């Protein structure tokens, strides 16, 4: 492998990590903001109120996006294996 190949694989790996992690993190951020806004309006300062909804929504979003995540990871793995085999 040349240095260019290593950089291509590294760039692909970073993009796959972003594709896999960004949707879940963005949903968690949105839920956290909504719960914080609710807490500010009602002046309820319970710590578990922020943790439990984020945990449940993250689980639901993870289950919902699992086919997309598996497909993205599988195609990345196939590209890596093709590079190894051709290489």
What does the domain layout of the chain look like in residue ranges? 3-86
Angle between helices 48-86 and 3-42 (to 10 degrees): 170
**pLDDT confidence of residue 27:** 94
Q: Would you state the pLDDT for residue 45?
A: 81
Q: How far apart, in whole angstroms, are the C-alpha atoms of residue 42 and residue 37?
A: 9
9/87 Cα distance (integer angstroms):
13
Enter the pTM of the model.
0.80
CA distance 20 to 33: 21
Q: Phi and psi (nearest 5°) for 26?
A: -65, -40
Question: Tokens 């590209």, residue?
Answer: 79
Q: State both tokens at 71.
A: 């497909």
Residues of the chain with pLDDT under 50: none
SS3 2: coil
């Amino acid at each position: 492998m040349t240095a260019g190949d290593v950089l291509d694989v590294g760039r692909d790996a970073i993009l796959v990590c972003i594709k896999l992690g960004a949707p879940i993190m963005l949903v968690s951020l949105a839920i956290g903001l909504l719960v914080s806004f609710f807490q500010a309006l009602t002046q309820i300062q319970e710590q578990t109120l922020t943790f439990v909804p984020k945990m449940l929504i993250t689980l639901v979003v993870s289950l919902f996006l699992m086919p997309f995540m598996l497909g993205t990871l599988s195609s990345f793995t196939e590209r890596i294996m093709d590079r190894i085999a051709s290489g």
